[in-house]
Structures are given as structure tokens and as C-alpha cells.
Amino acid sequence: MGEILLPLLILSPLAASLVVFVSAGRLSACAVGTLACTGVGMSAVISVILSVMLLSGPATGTLQVMLWPWIHIAGFSADIAFMLDRISVVMILVVTIVGLLIHIYAVSYMHDDPGIARFFGSMTLFIASMLVLVLASDLLCLFIGWEGVGLCSYLLIGFWYDTPANTAAARKAFYMTRMGDAALLCGLLLLATAAGSLHIGTVLAAVANGQVALSAVNMAALFILIGALAKSAQIPFQTWLPDAMAGPTPTSALIHAATMVTAGVYLIARLHDLFVMAVPVMALMAVLGALTLLMGACTALVQSDLKRILAWSTISQLGYMFLALGCGAWQAALFHLMTHAFFKALLFLTAGAVIVRTHHEQDIFRLGGLRHAMPGLAAAFITGASALAGVPLVTAGFYSKEMILSGVWAAHFRLTHEWTLSGHVLWGIGLLGAFLSALYIFRCVFIVFFGKSGTTATGRTSRLMTIPLSCLCVLSLCGGIIEMPMTFPPLHLFSALLDPTLPPSHADEPGWLVLVGAIVPLAGLGVAWVLWGRPSPIMREIPGQAAVIRFARTGGGMDVVYDHLFVQPFRFLTWLTRHDILDHAITGTGRLTQAVSTSVLRSRTGFLDILTLGGRRGIRSADHLLGQIHNGRVRWYAAWIVGGLCAGLAMAVLA
């Protein structure tokens, strides 16, 4: 039965996508939304069935299905095959369930849009591509899904293509992620050369048995890391994600919560045995994750656009996941991936409902006092904000962040015999990021829902939008209790789900770590209330005169760097190509050469004509002179003889 359900899991949204695309303009908006939700809903049901089947079997059991052989040549093979194990179970449940809730929400959100068929066709194709990515048992097959989500993100970000800024944002996301995809492909080719196959099990076994040289392992891990960093918008590829807000809000929720941006996290977690062998790459990953979470939090703190605040928040939370992966706590990274999908989808969808009811106003300083006009949305946003901040005990984000921080505390990197990098410094950065997360998200809460009244809200939130928000509220609050800290009651269902044979990754954490991790978010919430939440807040907008604030608002100036390093040179080359400067140069050189040749030819012809004419005249003159001399008169001849004799004697005498 599993051999049928596993391909059907991908086929359901794929078939829905094809039908929606083919029938575009022929079906009503309700029919299109129903068809798309049915396809994704079938995948969600199949995901639950397959998960129960897998988890009820042996601890190390997997379900593998090969659809057809793809490439079989000397020294290399690749197949179109899928594998369901405990890691992919987590991913398919997150992708399909959260994706279904977003689709239900989008039926109401996009109901009046004329391009609704194109929207839902791209959305369901996105889900299908993501399922190919997480279920592929061969890295080359995984790369197909990897490229599929990149293509769909381009279509969805630039959905409203009539606005030039939207198409520019779509191109930016496409180009940035393509750079990472090129690096990922290099890493895969390197592994294929060394291991003779790209089947995940074969590659990991070859690395573990020492069949792949350590230098090749390090280079392949570095290339794969670059691909993951670009897909997950980490330093230095973070600039595309905030601009991706140009797409519809359900697109932002899908891309930023459960699918595309988490693909890099999943890939590294899937290949964690490979990265364990590449210690320098692990250290680099942890450092980049720590810097990204700090940079993303600082940038979110000074933004004024509601959706861009959430976008920079996504970058920061992904930094937490890469920090955990770099420290070897891949279980904690996947746990935070799951809880982040719940509360970030909740925040985006709630923000979309707020924006619709406030006439598409996104500036938080023009909103305010909305808790009276929309108490339900205020409660939903506060729930998501609390989970994002990691409010202790009552939110899912607290448990996943605590698991990450405990894993980072115990990490150390032995880079050389003399130099060891301790995880304590990275733990401190992660703790600071937790404080800033509570600060920036509750800044947003207090200004938008408790601040001075601004834009007037109208209308009501439809039931199709309310049901997904209610489900996500429950998941954001209760989705983390399946993995408790060691100082709490011994409940470690998530760790047991991923690998029952291993102890929890936070088994040796000191008790005070949990206490500190609980106090810091509360401290951030308290500071946010003092600054923005009181009846007479200390500040409204963070002053932008300081250079560091302006620097943070621009996202660290990376757009300027990329503009000078890549965009302007590329535009110059495009200008050269458009005006065909090289052809003009070659044509001009040819014309100049032709003109010089013509001038030389004319000069030579004129000189020869003058020389010929002068010679002819000289010959005529000499002939005439000779004719005068030879006239046949004897006395003239005698005179010439006497004259010549005199001249000869004179010369002889003078000599």
C-alpha cells in the first residue's frame, strides 16, 4: 500500500496544478480554490496515513519506491526514486498540513483576483516540488524539486507582474538563488565523482567508510552549504527575501514558513553525517547562522513595513536553525523548523487579514488601536508573536529555541590541535537574538494593536480565513510540548520520532540554561512594553539619524555591495550588447581602413600620373633639343667640336 501512496502523495497536488493551469479562465474562482485545496488536502491525508504506517514499524524502517531508472552509465547511476524515513515524515507533515491551511486561507484572500487560476496553479505546483525535494532518495532527483520550488517562487513573487517593482523582486530572488543552485550542483558533481552515485544512502556510506577523501568532503560540504545559504536567505544571500514580500500574502506565508526557505535546513539535516566529517564547514555554518540571526533581528527592529518586519524575522529564525545545524544539533534545527512553520504562517496570514481590512496599509505607524476593531486578529497575532519571542511554557517557540540554545552551549569545534572554538560565545549571540526577537515583535504588537488609533478598519474576516488562523494558533501554542527540556517532565517525543536510538540532544544541559532562556524573552517583552506599550510610550519610531540605524534599515548595505559588484557591471555589459559596441568598433575600423586605402590609392595614382606626365614632357623637350642640334649644317657641327675641345682642354688645365 505504501508503494502506491508515496507517489500519490506527490501526484495529488501535481495533478491539481496541471488541471488548474489547463482550465485557466474556464472555471470559477470557487471551483479553482476547491480543486487546489482538494489536491493539497489529499496529500495531507496521505501524509498522515504514511506517517502512522512508518512509525508503527521498526525504528530504523524506511519506505522506498523507485519509479524508473534515469541515468546508468559506467561509474555513475541515478534514479527517480522516493524514500520515506523519520526525517522526511516531519517535513511532509509540515509541508502538507501548513500548506493546506494556507490554501484554505487563500481561497478567500484571492477570491476577487482575475489571476486566481494562475495563483493556485503555482501554489499547488510549489507543494508538489517541495514534496519531491523532501522525499527524493537520490540527490539528483532532489535537485529537480530544488529547482522546482525556485521556479514557483519566481512565479509567485512576481504574480502581480503589472508593477515593475514586483517583477524586479521576482528576478532578484531568481538570480540570487540560482547562484546558490550552481554551487549546489558543483557539490553534487563532486560527490558523484567521488562516490560513483548520488543515492543519499550510498553517498553517506562512502563518506563514513573513508572512500571519499577529506578534502573532497570539505569542498562538497562547502558547495552544498553555499546552495543552502542562498535558498534559505542567509548571509551573504539574505537580500532577496524581504523583497519577496511583493507577492500575495499567502505566497509569503508559504515561502517563509514551511517550504522554500526551509529547504536548505532540510538538506543539511538530511546530509548531517557528511557535514560531521567537515569540521571547518560546520564552524563556518554556525558562525554565519549566529551572525544572520543577530543581523536579521536588528534589521527587523528598525523596519516600519509590517510584512518586511516578518520577512527579516524569518531570516533571523533561519539563522537559529543554521546555528543549530553548525553545532551538530540537527534535531533541534528540525524541531524549530516545525514550530517556526506554525507561528510564522500564523503571523503572515494574520498580517494579511489586517492589511486587507485596513485598505492595504502596511506601515505600522499608520496603523494603531486595532485591538478594538479586530480583537480576534489581535489575539491571533499576539499568539504568533509570543511563540516567535519564545514566551516560556505556553508557546511552541520556547521549547524549540531552548533545545537549540542547549545544543549550542554544549558544542565545540576542534579546528586545529591548538585552537578550539567553544559554543559558549555562539550561545551568547543566540541569547541576545532571543531578547531582540521579543523586542522587535512586541514593538510591532504594541504599535499596531495598542498604539494610537490610525487607519480605520472595515469589514469582517471571512470564515475561510478564520479557520486556518484558529488551527495555527493551537499549533503555535501546543506544538512544542512534544519535546521538553531535561529539567521538565521527561517527554521527548520529537527526538524519539527522529531517532529512537539516540538520547535527546539536550540531555546534558545545566538547569540554569532553561531559566536564562525563559527570562530573556520576558525581559525583551518588558523592554518593548516600556518603550512602546505604555499609555505614554517613551518612543514611537526609533530615530534614524544615527549611521548604524540607517545601515540596519538597509539590511547591512548588501544591496549596495551587490549593485556595485554585480548589477552595474552586468548592466554595462547589457548596454554594450544592446548597442552592439563591438560591431560598431569593427565596422568603424573597417571604414577607416577603407578610407585610408582609398587615400593611399589616390595619392599613388596622382603621383604616378604626375611622374609620367613630367617624364613625357622631358623626353619631348630632349627630343626637340636633339632635333635642333642634329640639323645637318656643317658649320654647326664644327662649332660644337671646337666648343667641346675647348671645354676638354680647360678641364685638363684646371685639373
Higher pLDDT among residues 131 and 543, named by residue = 131
pLDDT for 463 beyond 60:
yes
Distances (CA, A) of 208 to 138, 191, 205, 358, 549: 18, 13, 5, 57, 47
Residues 6+ apart with CB under 8 A from 57: none
Ranges 51-65, 127-141, 323-337: which has the least confidence: 51-65
User: pLDDT tens digits for 539-572?
Assistant: 666 665 455 566 666 655 666 666 666 667 766 7
pTM value is 0.84
Highest mean pLDDT of the ranges 196-205, 531-540, 580-589, 623-632? 196-205
pLDDT for 310 beyond 70:
yes
User: pLDDT tens digits for 477-503?
Assistant: 988 888 878 777 777 788 888 877 666
Ranges 213-217, 262-266, 550-554: which has the least confidence: 550-554
What are the residues facing 638 on neighbouring strands? Answer: none
Average pLDDT score over residue span 191-201: 88
Q: Is 247 helix (H, G, I), strand (E, B) or coil?
A: coil
The identity of residue 99, as a single letter, is: G
Average pLDDT score over residue span 92-117: 91
Confidence of residue 379 (pLDDT cuts 50, 70, 90): very high
Query: What is d(CA 214, CA 157) in angstroms, rounded to the nearest whole number?
Result: 40
Sequential DSSP letters for 609-628: HHHHHHHHHHHHHHHHHHHH
Average pLDDT score over residue span 422-438: 90
pLDDT for 415 beyond 70:
no
User: pLDDT tens digits for 564-594?
Assistant: 666 677 667 766 676 666 667 777 787 888 8
Per-residue model confidence (pLDDT) at position 653: 84
Sequence length of the chain is: 655
Per-residue model confidence (pLDDT) at position 468: 93
**Sign of the dihedral defined by the CA atoms of residues 552, 553, 555, 557, in that order:** negative
Average pLDDT score over residue span 376-384: 93
pLDDT for 507 beyond 60:
no
Confidence of residue 293 (pLDDT cuts 50, 70, 90): very high
- How are beta strands 420-422 and 76-84 bridged, if at all? unpaired
Average pLDDT score over residue span 18-31: 87
| Mean predicted lDDT score pLDDT of the chain | 86
User: pLDDT tens digits for 163-185?
Assistant: 888 898 899 889 889 999 999 99
Residue 283, all three cell numbers: 564552524
pLDDT for 406 beyond 80:
yes
Query: What is d(CA 394, CA 422) in angstroms, rounded to the nearest whole number?
Result: 31
Q: Which residue has the cell 505604555?
A: 534
> Quick one: what percent of the chain has pLDDT higher than 90?
41
Per-residue model confidence (pLDDT) at position 492: 79
Sequential DSSP letters for 439-492: HHHHHHHHHHHSSS--SPP-S---HHHHHHHHHHHHHHHHTTTTB--TTS-S-B
Q: Is 68 helix (H, G, I), strand (E, B) or coil?
A: strand
Confidence of residue 454 (pLDDT cuts 50, 70, 90): confident
Ranges 167-181, 237-251, 499-513, 622-636: which has the least confidence: 499-513
Per-residue model confidence (pLDDT) at position 614: 80
- Do the Cβ atoms of 51 and 67 come closer than 8 Å? no
Average pLDDT score over residue span 522-542: 81
Sequential DSSP letters for 66-95: EEEEEEEETTEEEEEEEEE-HHHHHHHHHH
> Quick one: what percent of the chain has pLDDT higher than 70?
90
The angle at the Cα of 332, spanning 331 to 338, to the nearest 5 degrees, equals: 95
Nearest C-alpha neighbor of 234 from the set 180, 281, 184: 180
Confidence of residue 239 (pLDDT cuts 50, 70, 90): confident
Residue 340 CA to its chain's centroid (Å):
18
Query: What is d(CA 189, CA 220) in angstroms, rounded to the nearest whole number?
Result: 9
